[in-house]
Amino acid sequence: MGWKEVRRKGGRLALFLVALLVAAWLMRGNEGYSIQRAREAALKQNVFTLRHVIEEYTLDQRKRPQSLEELVTSSYLEQVPADPMTRRYDSWVLEWSKDPKMPGIVDVHSSSHEIGSDGRAYCDWWGRIVV
């Protein structure tokens, strides 16, 4: 194998290594984005579940829950899910009924003011349903 051939193969190897490093750097930059998207998906699921259980409890019991813990003690939930954005179980913002004949929780959302991938704060995601 001659010097020119070694240089040519070495150049290709160097180019390959540079491309590999650039690809690794770009993928590393997306890791945080993937984690954020996973947390956002978990937030959507937890809010959906809580809203569904609140509605189910209200229809079954003919009264609204007075706390999220009431949904656990009455076996509608195994446990109150954590807000993935605050990583806390007790940080949910509860929306209360304006109907004096049927007081209680009507909606729930995150308390996080962190900005999500859609440019809105997580506390403003999916609107609020106040009855």
Q: What is the pLDDT of residues 43-90, one digit of tens each?
A: 999 999 999 999 999 999 999 999 999 999 999 999 999 999 999 999
**φ, ψ for residue 129, nearest 5 deg:** -110, 105
Residue 98 sits at the vertex; the CA angle it makes with 92 and 103, to the nearest 5 degrees, is 75
**pLDDT score at 129:** 45
DSSP string, 38-106: HHHHHHHHHHHHHHHHHHHHHHHHSS--SSHHHHHHTTS-SSPPPBTTTTBSS-PEEEE---TTS-SEE
The residue extents of the domains of the chain are 3-124
| Reported pTM | 0.71
**pLDDT score at 118:** 87
